[in-house]
Structure formats: C-alpha cells, structure tokens
Amino acid sequence: MAKGIIGELFIFSVLSLDTDGTPVAVLTPTIEVFYFDDSAAKVNVVPIATPMASVVPAETGRYVYSYTIDAGLQARQQLYAVMRGIHPVSGDTLVTEVEVDLFDDTSPSTSAGVTTSFIGPDNC
C-alpha cells in the first residue's frame, strides 16, 4: 500500500516481469485510477486504458504515470490503480493493482501517518 498527499503529485510505477522474474517490455502499458464515493459508486479519475510512459532513462519493463491527487478528495479515502500490459510473447494480460491511502498535509502528524506526543519535565 502506498501513501499520497491530497493536492500533491503522485507517481504510479510498475515493473512488468516474466514468469521467471525477468523484466519484460509489455505491449500497450495502461493505467486506470479510481476511488469509491460515499455511496460506494466507482469514480474514475484516470480513465481505463490511459497510456503509461516508459521511465527515463529507459529500464526494460518499467512504466510510470504522474497524477496530481484531486484536492476535493478526503483524508483516509483510498485511490485504486489498475495497471495492465500485454505480454509480447504469450499475449497474456499482466495486471498490477495498487492502493493509495490519502492524507491531508495540513497537519504534520496526519501526513506522516503517525501521532506525535512530546514528553518533557511538565508531563512526567
């Protein structure tokens, strides 16, 4: 699971591997990003089959997609990404799914995912 800050850039990354763990350059690497609203309806923020880019410098099988997390989303919501690519030999669809926990950066303790407490002489 990944963590993203509302209103900030998030980079989705995938490394496509062959059955033996070797990186493979897939055909048509794509991504879909969505969340579920309060009524459990799926809301697409990046449409299905949106192309992903190869990383720079090039690395076999690694693709990325940059997305700025919508400022209208709420802390503790989750984004979901489904990344797909077609294996060039077998024709199988390789699928990778990622969940992103969303945080608001207005509070340092919220954006870091931890709660801080300071203990000093007055608190002992």
User: DSSP strand E in 6-61: where?
Assistant: 9-15, 27-36, 42-51, 53-54
> Longest C-alpha distance within the chain, in Å?
68
Write down the pTM of the prediction. Answer: 0.83
**Per-residue confidence (pLDDT) for residue 47, from 0 to 100:** 98
What pLDDT, in 10s, does the model give residues 13-34? 999 999 999 999 999 999 999 9
In whole numbers, what is the pLDDT of the chain averaged over residues?
89
Edge to edge, the sheet with strand 9-15 lists 9-15, 62-68, 53-54
Q: Which domains does the chain have, with CATH numbers?
A: 2-111 (2.60.40)
**Per-residue confidence (pLDDT) for residue 110, from 0 to 100:** 45
